Amino acid sequence: MAARVDRLFVHCRELVTLTDGPATGPRRGAAMRRLGVLEDGAVAVRDGRIVATGTTHALRRDYRAEAELDLSGYVVLPGFVDCHTHPAFVKTREHEFHQRCAGADYMAIAAAGGGILSSMRAVREATAEELTDAVERHLWGFAAHGTTTVECKSGYGLSLADEAKSLRALQEAAARTPLSTRRTFLGAHEFPPEYRDDREAYVRLLCEQMLPQLAPLADYCDVFAEPGVFDAAQSERVLAAARAHGLRLRVHADEIRPMGGAELAVALGAASADHLGRISDQGIERLAASDTVGVLLPGTIFFLGKAHYAPARRMIEAGCAVALATDFNPGSCYTQSMTLIQTLACVQMKMSAEEVVTATTINPAFSLQLDGEVGTLHPGKRADLCVLDLPSWRAIGYAFGGNPVVMTVKDGEPIVANVHERDPDWFGGGPEPV
């Protein structure tokens, strides 16, 4: 007798399950190229969780559903997991973009009071509700691009009150959307103007006041470990204090100049080391021997007009767990498109289509300690799907310049539809997507 489920997603042209590997843990090396693709695939869902995947014929034989959704002609992946974003801002910085295009340097703009400090002033001036509304808009922007799980950093407040406002805005905005989120405290994003001449005092403020009071509002702590921002000793002090207050760690590491940031992240047991455009050979070796995920952000290098992309090929061949993320922020990477990031990773870092799928699903999920919930389509995980209007999964990276996401599904429910040419029965008689 056929079992009852809430919904069947049927007739996927190709269903990319990633079930050719284990349900949890990072994928490394050759394992990053195993996708578990099913033609004419289907997904059975009950209570927002995956019950089974298989061919449409097999699942219709084994299950009876209250609703069906026909995804004929589409490629279906696990929902994207974006594990490095900065959505807690209220104003954009397009003027800085055009300054850079005219030859100005990012660090020089920051030194003149632009950059992060420009966003800081806007966040400090915004009300809590204005900031929350902005974050909510940003979260829906991720959903429109197929992302169902997002790591969200603070870091544009740079004071106890404004970092608290930012973390609470992230919490409230997440409650207004169906997305899965993780919050990261990034008070160590820059030195605010009032501490520019006494950086030691700001490090003490972070360690002795901000972290003790704000740790309950966050899941992670991050630090911008970079010469000219937080040096190695300052970064280690902040991260050690964060760990003492129960936070897991993430590190902006070796982005613009090498500083041993990857090595520091591994030594402290951080969940991720991010950017890595200037990672050292030793840093690659340390990452490969650890569970610290190397999160690569090619959109930032592209948007800043830099040449030093992270050495993804060497990292993958060495055995590093590699992930990709957007680094969505108002200054150095204003995009929420994981498919664009996949293209940049293929073209600039020579990753394969299979590798960029793994690097935008299960590996970032592992970096967020959510690999038991999302990142593959194993039974028992959340039924989070990204539906792409592509001729094949092999067109991932190849197709760019638009948004190929036609639908985003969270916990078994369509939450975004970017096309409307199909009739209402496309949604199986269920509720229309938001």
Task: Tell whether 434 is covered by a domain.
Answer: no
| pLDDT digit string, tens, across residues 368-388 | 999 999 999 999 999 999 999
- The rounded distance, in Å, linking the Cα atoms of 289 and 113 is 40
Q: What percent of the chain has pLDDT over 90?
A: 92
DSSP string, 69-93: EE-BT-EEEEPEEE-------S---
Indicate if 387 and 243 belong to the same structural domain: no
Q: What is the pLDDT of residue 425?
A: 53
Per-residue pLDDT reduced to its tens digit, 234-275: 999 999 999 999 999 999 999 988 999 999 999 999 999 999
pLDDT at 431 over 90: no
Q: How many domains does the chain have?
A: 2
Residue 304 predicted with pLDDT over 70: yes
Q: Do 183 and 312 lie in a common domain? A: yes
pLDDT at 420 over 60: no
For the chain, what is the radius of gyration of the CA atoms? 21
Q: Are residues 108 and 183 in the same domain?
A: yes
**How many other C-beta atoms can be found within 10 angstroms of the C-beta atom of residue 399?**
15
Average pLDDT value for residue range 334-359? 98
> Is the per-residue pLDDT at 432 higher than 50?
no
Q: Give a yes or no: residue 348 inside a domain.
A: yes
pLDDT over 50 at 430, yes or no:
no
Mark whether 274 and 294 lie in a shared domain.
yes
125-172 per-position pLDDT tens digit: 999 999 999 999 999 999 999 999 999 999 999 999 999 999 999 999
Q: What is the CATH number of the domain that holds 417?
A: 2.30.40.10
Which of residues 326, 346, 367 is at a domain's end? 367
**CA–CA distances in Å: residue 70 to residues 37, 106, 283, 428:** 18, 47, 47, 8
Are 243 and 333 members of one domain? yes
pLDDT of residue 428: 43
Q: What is the mean pLDDT of the chain?
A: 95
Instruction: Clarify whether residues 358 and 421 are in a common domain.
Output: no
What is the percentage of the chain residues whose pLDDT exceeds 70? 96
Q: Which residues pair with 9 in a beta bridge?
A: 43, 69
The residues facing 82 across adjacent strands are 150
Taking only the tens place, the pLDDT of each residue in 91-115 is: 999 999 999 999 988 778 877 778 8
Q: What is the per-residue pLDDT for 133?
A: 98
Residue 432 lies in a domain: no
Residue ranges making up the domain that contains 168: 81-367
Look up the CATH number of the domain holding residue 142.
Answer: 3.20.20.140
In this structure, the answer to whether residues 96 and 40 fall within a common structural domain is no
Is 410 found in the same domain as 304? Answer: no
Residues 59 and 94 occupy one common structural domain:
no
Domain match, 278 and 412 both: no
Q: pLDDT per residue over 24-81, tens digit each?
A: 999 999 999 999 999 999 999 999 999 999 999 999 999 999 999 999 999 999 999 9
Where among 367, 384, 402 does a domain terminate?
A: 367
DSSP character string of 300-353 = HHHHHT-S----HHHHHHHT--EEE----BTTTB----HHHHHHHHHHHH---H
Answer yes or no: do 348 and 386 share one domain. no
Residues 396 and 281 in one domain: no
> Could you say which of 320, 339, 367 is where a domain stops?
367
